[in-house]
């Protein structure tokens, strides 16, 4: 059975071109870029090219890019660096809908190290309130960390405006752009963030590589201390194949950006509109306007997410559920709860996230198979809109 992979916000297929580009660096060209000899040196040259490719995608300087092991490391490093650089500042601003790489880390800092954290809330569409944000900034705010795009709903936040406000108050601004990089244009000459995190495996590079952008002249304190790699800002022998892969993936992303924003978006819209009209009592979660072109988060009322997920898995469709059952915790997704999605719907939410590898036939197949599955699950359920008297 062929898998129809609609879970690209979780991870992506390594692009075959990326895979080809890195193969020799596992076997013939395995030198250590820090070595003095030519054998290592030639790998060093490739890392330089990769750095330039990442910088080009973000429109920043190559020396502003640090390679890391993943998005989480980039996020943690950025926040920790700001706190270490300004030890007297004890306040952090973030949102209630961040990825755990930021959210759990902030909760940890709050609990274990006594930092004060403001978690900005959202409205029912997952949008942030600018006035609430402005009011939260204090003289002792060390850093603001707000994601560029949300992994569950795809919502894109007004990062340019928010970073500018932080700058006006002399506060460092970090953005977790893991879901945005490669999907929407990012121009760091135009958006005044100080730090930005990205991750390789969300844009068709392998898992285990990420990058952190640190704007020139931003105070920075390394997290990993040891050798002189990455300009002494991140010690540890480079993940050379991962870095070269990330560079190639960034080049391809730049080339394919247009497709992501037109063809992929059109497929997503077809899927979304098709499901919403075929399945009664289904709703779209998130901001209809400002959203990643590849993400649709749909709640099917009166059915539970894991059950849907496993049923569609039977026919080869891979998606993700915001239902708590699949994540080990029992409360529905913190993002949907922050948006006050009614419980009737929150438990039955499914996230579809596409990539440039998805085809129209795949979407047609989902539109054909999924609505009857929901219908069958609803037949099993003691609840229904009619029984609840909602007449939805």
Site for other proteins, rule CB under 8 A: 302-307, 309-311, 313-314, 323-326, 328-332, 337, 340, 342-344, 347, 379-383, 388-391
> CA-CA distances (angstroms) from residue 42 to 32, 143, 193?
9, 39, 33
The one catalytic residue among 60, 70, 106, 325: 325
> CA-CA distances (angstroms) from residue 33 to 23, 44, 156, 236, 343?
17, 4, 37, 11, 53
Smallest distance, Å, CB 241 to other proteins?
Answer: 28
- Residue with Cβ nearer other proteins (292 or 298): 298
DSSP character for 20? H
Smallest distance, Å, CB 317 to other proteins?
Answer: 13
- Residue with Cβ nearer other proteins (40 or 385): 385
* Coil, helix or strand at residue 210: strand
Smallest distance, Å, CB 3 to other proteins?
Answer: 13
- Residue with Cβ nearer other proteins (192 or 385): 385
Smallest distance, Å, CB 58 to other proteins?
Answer: 34
- Residue with Cβ nearer other proteins (232 or 388): 388
Smallest distance, Å, CB 143 to other proteins?
Answer: 26
Q: Which helix (H) or strand (E) holds 174?
A: strand 172-176
* Coil, helix or strand at residue 81: helix
- Residue with Cβ nearer other proteins (32 or 327): 327
- Least Cα distance to 334 among 152, 74, 77 occurs for 152
Told to judge if 70 belongs to the known catalytic residues of this protein, a careful annotator would answer no
The residues near 348 (Cβ < 8 Å, ≥ 6 apart) are 299, 300, 301, 302, 303, 304, 305, 308, 323
Longest dimension (CA), the chain: 77
Q: How far apart are CA 207 and CA 211, in angstroms?
A: 12
Q: What angle do CA 45, 48, 51 make, to 5 degrees?
A: 155
Residues with catalytic roles: 325
């Amino acid at each position: 059975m062929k898998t129809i992979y609609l879970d690209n916000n979780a991870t992506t297929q390594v692009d075959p071109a990326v895979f080809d580009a890195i193969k020799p660096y596992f076997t013939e060209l395995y030198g250590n870029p820090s070595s003095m000899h030519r054998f290592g040196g030639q790998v060093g040259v490739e890392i330089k090219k990769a750095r330039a490719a990442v910088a080009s995608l973000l429109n920043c300087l190559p020396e502003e890019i640090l390679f890391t092991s993943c998005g989480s490391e980039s996020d943690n490093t950025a926040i920790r660096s700001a706190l270490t650089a300004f030890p007297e500042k004890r306040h952090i601003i973030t949102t209630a809908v961040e990825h755990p790489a930021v959210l759990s880390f902030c909760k940890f800092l709050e609990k274990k190290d006594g930092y004060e954290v403001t978690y900005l809330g959202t409205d029912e569409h997952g949008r942030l309130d600018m006035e609430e944000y402005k009011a939260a900034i204090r003289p002792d705010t060390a850093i603001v960390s707000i994601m560029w795009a949300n992994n569950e709903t795809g919502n894109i936040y007004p990062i340019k405006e928010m970073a500018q406000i932080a700058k006006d108050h002399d506060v460092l601004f970090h953005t977790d752009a893991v879901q945005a990089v490669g999907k929407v244009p990012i121009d760091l000459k135009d958006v005044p963030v100080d730090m930005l995190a990205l991750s390789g495996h969300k844009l068709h590079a392998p898992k285990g590589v990420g990058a952190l952008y640190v704007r020139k002249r931003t105070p920075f304190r390394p997290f990993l201390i040891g050798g002189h790699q990455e300009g002494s800002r991140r010690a540890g022998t480079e993940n050379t194949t991962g870095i070269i892969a990330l560079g190639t993936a960034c080049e391809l992303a730049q080339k394919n950006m247009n497709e992501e924003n037109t063809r992929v978006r059109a497929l997503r819209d077809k899927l979304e509109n098709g499901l919403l009209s075929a399945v009664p009592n289904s709703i779209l979660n998130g901001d209809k306007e400002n959203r990643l072109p590849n993400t649709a988060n749909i709640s099917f009322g009166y059915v539970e997410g894991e059950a849907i997920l496993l049923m569609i898995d039977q026919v080869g469709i891979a998606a993700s559920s915001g239902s708590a059952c699949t994540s080990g915790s029992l409360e529905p997704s913190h993002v949907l709860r922050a948006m006050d999605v009614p419980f009737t719907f929150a438990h039955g939410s499914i996230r579809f996230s596409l990539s440039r590898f998805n085809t129209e036939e795949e979407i047609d197949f989902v539109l054909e198979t999924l609505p009857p599955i929901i219908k069958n699950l609803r037949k099993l359920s003691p609840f229904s809109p009619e029984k609840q008297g909602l007449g939805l």
